[in-house]
Structure formats: structure tokens, C-alpha cells
Amino acid sequence: MIMLPSCIQYNFQRITEVEPEIEVAPTQHDFGALYAGVDNDQLSIVITNIGGDHLEIFDIYLSNGQQNFSLDLDWEGFIPPGEQVIFQIHYSPRTYESNYDELVILSDDTDERITTIPLVGYGDAPVIDVSPLDFQFADTFIECLETTEIEITNLGNVDLEVYNIDYYATTPADLYPEDYESKYGPYPWVVSPNEAMVIELDYYPLDTIEDQGYFQIESNDPQDPIYEADQRGRGKYQNHNSDQFTQGDPAPVDILFVIDNSCSMGPNQVELSDNFNIFINTFAASQVDYRIAFITTDSPYFVGDVITRQTPDPVAEAMAQINSIGTSGSGSEKGMDNSKESLTSPGDASPGEQFFREGALLVVIYISDEDDSSTTSPTEMSNFLKGLKASDSLVIAHAVAGDVPGGCTGNGNAQSGKDYYSLVTKMGGTFLSICDEDWGTPMEQLANDSTGPTALYISGDPIPDTIEVFVEGNMYHDWVYDSSENLIYFTVYPAEGSSIVVSYAVRSDCAI
């Protein structure tokens, strides 16, 4: 055995390692509950190098990348021994929610290269939910009512305040929201957490075009302050009908001539008498069942008998009556007053007497070289005439008078017949110049414009906009529909014997 000399001395020296060491405060944090969209909070993070060498920070980030948390950091590099870096983390909730994230720090600390700091926070807020968000009405019959409910729910933990609701719809509008304020009172409306309110939307389609609309709801929801919910619908016809007809004789017509019998009317009465055969022959050619009577601007009584197709010689009878009128009447012509009196019971031309027929077209023709001096105004006369028939299409007024506005010369000259012109315009009739040198064409025009419309009775209850008329298979446009009598009237006759089809959609059983 070898023994070491006891005199030999050994000296031991402590060796200290020089290394960086990270310390982070706090090690975790709870931001608590904040009012979303209003409140926010921040946290200061302190990184200290408690080691003996420079601490290198490689990266600092939030692991989940939630938008509720954000870093306020503008630094990178080394932290000398004993030094520290301070930066902020901000928390701002957006809605009613709980949030979690982790702050991660990567460094060259050999014992703790990854440092993790848990972060939690909570948002208090109202949360709006609308159901249904996108609603499609089932196909709805035209003029029928369907209703759906829109539910507004608060899914948050704070009162939802609804500030305003607007509704927008395509035009013409067939979608109708209820009167909200009469139901819930003035804005704002308060919906407690986990509670709901219901509003109604009516759909009343009037056509087959797709209708679209949407609610726009304004509230204190911080994430969705303006919320929209869509609706759509399309109307459909319940049934279509087709009524078939064969064109028969044209409808009957009752014609009342009101002739000026003042002293200046001699030449004009001659023209009327000489050309009346054209008027009668036009009716004869169209097989119209006519009744013709004459009164004057001086008297409401018939000059002679009513002239019909059964009169042995209607032209001769008409000429005789015109020639008997004469020109010794008053110079203050009152054509409207006298025609009104004649058509008012028990007047010669009134309903219930031999001239007037309920289903016939009533035509009143005024012939005068001066304007009317009646107490009855054109508007009053128009309303009176229209009131005699169930349909405006069954009455019309024409006039042969002085040109408007300045009168005219020829055939004895004439003053402007402005009141007659006004009446004819209101009645949709024909206004002709009394100064025309040739009365042949005007008389033919008056006859053509005085033929009564042929009436076709519609078997169903049609929607007027859907009515289509076909004559011999071709679309026909010369007709009007009278809803009060459910009749189609032709303004221009199809040829006798023509095949006529009237097609239309029928009102639905649920129509209101």
C-alpha cells in the first residue's frame, strides 16, 4: 500500500455557473366578467432575468390567437442579468362568452425554455337570435292570407333592448308586418335573458311574381347591432276557367237626340235630315236593335214616336220628325237640363217608359250651334247619366257643336260648345264640328260610335287582371270587363258566328 505523505495540502475552490434564468409574473390571470362591447381590461406582464447571463427571448405569442386577447409588445432581443421587460395583454369580450388563451414565452433558459401563462375572461352581453332566419312561405293562393311568426330571443345574460324594427319588401308589396308599436308599445322593447318576443308577418299575394322582404332589427347586441331576417313567397292561382261563346247579334242601343231649335239652326237641321239615312243604314247593316227619339233644347218631350227597326220607314220617319222641330225655340239653349228631365221619371225617355231599356246602351247626342245655358253642369250631367246604368260602359254622350275653343264658321257659323265638349270628354264620347260642310262622314261616325257593346256573362268569379279574350283563336283586345255585373262588353264586335273563348283565373275560395 502506498501512503500519501501527510504533509501534502489540497485546496478546493467553488465554481459558479453563469446562466440566464427567466421569471414571469403573474403566472396566470383571470380578467373576470366585463360588459361586452363596452368594457375592456389590461394586464401587465413582467419578464425578469434573475440569472447571471443575458436572457435571450426568441418569441412571445398567444397560443389560441383569439381576437378577445391582444398583445401590446414592441420589443425583442436580450434581457441583461437583473433587468426586466414589461408589456401589456388586453382583454375585450365581444359578446356573451367565456374566453381562454395562453401566453407563451420562448427563451434560452435551459431549465424553462417554454413558459406558459393561462388567461381567462368572460363577457356579459345581450345576444339576439331571430327564428326563422330565412323563411319561405308555401305557395299561397292569390288573394289568400297566410301568416308566419318571427321570434326574437335573447340568448345572452343581459337585457336585450330592441331600438327599432324596419321592414323592406319588393313592390308591389304583398308582405305586411303587423303594427308592432300598437302591440308592444314605444321603443325600446326589453327582452330579458332567455326570453322571447313574437312579431307576425302577413302574406297576401295579388300576383304570381315572387315576393321578397326582410326585417331589419336594431338592438344593443354589441356583436350584431343590426340583424336581418329574410322572407319569400310566391302566389299561385287556385283554378283557371275557360268560357266558350259564339258571337250573336250586337247588343241593343237607345239613342236620344237633343236638337237645338233656336232661330240659327235651320241649315244644320237640314244637314241632319238629309244625312240621317247614313246613320240609320249603319245600324241596319250591323243588325243593331235600336230605339231613336228626338227632343229639343227647349223641351223634354218627344217630338214624335220612338223609331225602331220595326218602324215601316225609319229614315222617312226620322226626317219628318227633324223637319218638324223648326227654329222658333228659345235662344237660351238648355240641352242638358231638358235631356236630364226627359230621362228622369216620369219623363218620356225615363226608365220604365217605352224608350229606355235597362240592358241597352244609352246614347245621348247633342246638336247645337251655341254653348249650353243649362243650370246642370257637365260634371252633374255626367254623374246623372252614369247613374242611370249599372255600368259606365252602358252609357255615352256625343255632341255636334261649335269648335272648342274659338267656335267655327260654315253652315251658319257656331259659338264654341265648351260645356258640351266637357260633357263628352267626361263620358268618353265623340265631339264633332257642326260647321262641317259634309255631314255624311260625321253621321256614319256617330252611328259607329253609338253601337252597344256585346255582353258575355262570365260563369266564374274572375281575377280581372287575368282575363284574356280569344276570337277564332287569336287574342282580342276590344273589350271591357264590368265587375259589377260580371260581364265582358265588346267595344268592337267580332263577326257574327265567331268562336269566342274567355280565359281567366278564378278567385280562390279563401279570398277575402
Residue 471 lies in a domain: yes
Domain tally, the chain: 4
Residue 396 lies in a domain: yes
CATH of the domain at 142: 2.60.40.10
Mapped onto helix, strand or coil, the DSSP state of residue 489 is strand
- CA proximity to 206, closest of 242, 179, 171: 171
Asked if residue 164 and residue 87 are part of one domain, the reply reads no
- Distance (Å, whole) CA 446 – CA 401: 13
Chain centre to alpha carbon of residue 187: 28
What pLDDT, on the 0 to 100 scale, is given for residue 17?
57
Main-chain dihedrals φ then ψ at residue 295, nearest 5 degrees: -130, 180
Is the omega angle on the peptide bond into residue 177 within 30 degrees of 0, that is, cis?
no
C-alpha cell, 178: 303587423
Average pLDDT by consecutive 10-residue portion of the chain (512 residues)?
46 61 96 94 96 93 88 86 95 95 94 95 96 93 92 96 95 90 92 96 92 96 95 91 80 90 86 85 77 93 93 91 89 92 93 87 91 93 92 88 87 86 91 83 78 73 90 91 82 80 87 52
β pairing state of 69-72 and 114-124: unpaired
- Distance (Å, whole) CA 429 – CA 279: 16
pTM reported for the whole predicted model: 0.54
Residue 512 lies in a domain: no
Q: Is the dihedral of CA 398, 402, 407, 410 positive or negative?
A: positive
Residue 206 lies in a domain: yes
**Alpha-carbon Rg for the chain in angstroms:** 48
Asked if residue 205 and residue 160 are part of one domain, the reply reads yes
Asked if residue 206 and residue 156 are part of one domain, the reply reads yes
Q: Which domain holds residue 468?
A: 240-247+455-506
Asked if residue 203 and residue 106 are part of one domain, the reply reads no
Q: Which amino acid is at 186?
A: P
Residue 179 lies in a domain: yes
Residue 3 lies in a domain: no
Residue 134 lies in a domain: yes
What pLDDT, on the 0 to 100 scale, is given for residue 249?
64
Residue 285 lies in a domain: yes
Chain centre to alpha carbon of residue 289: 44
What pLDDT, on the 0 to 100 scale, is given for residue 320?
92
Asked if residue 37 and residue 63 are part of one domain, the reply reads yes
- Distance (Å, whole) CA 465 – CA 139: 20
Torsion of CA 428, 429, 433, 438, to 10 degrees: 140
Asked if residue 139 and residue 57 are part of one domain, the reply reads no
- Distance (Å, whole) CA 65 – CA 363: 88
Q: Which of 109, 124, 139 corresponds to the end of one domain?
A: 124
What pLDDT, on the 0 to 100 scale, is given for residue 7?
46
Asked if residue 418 and residue 318 are part of one domain, the reply reads yes
Q: Are 139 and 234 in contact (CB under 8 A)?
A: yes
What pLDDT, on the 0 to 100 scale, is given for residue 94?
94
What pLDDT, on the 0 to 100 scale, is given for residue 452?
60
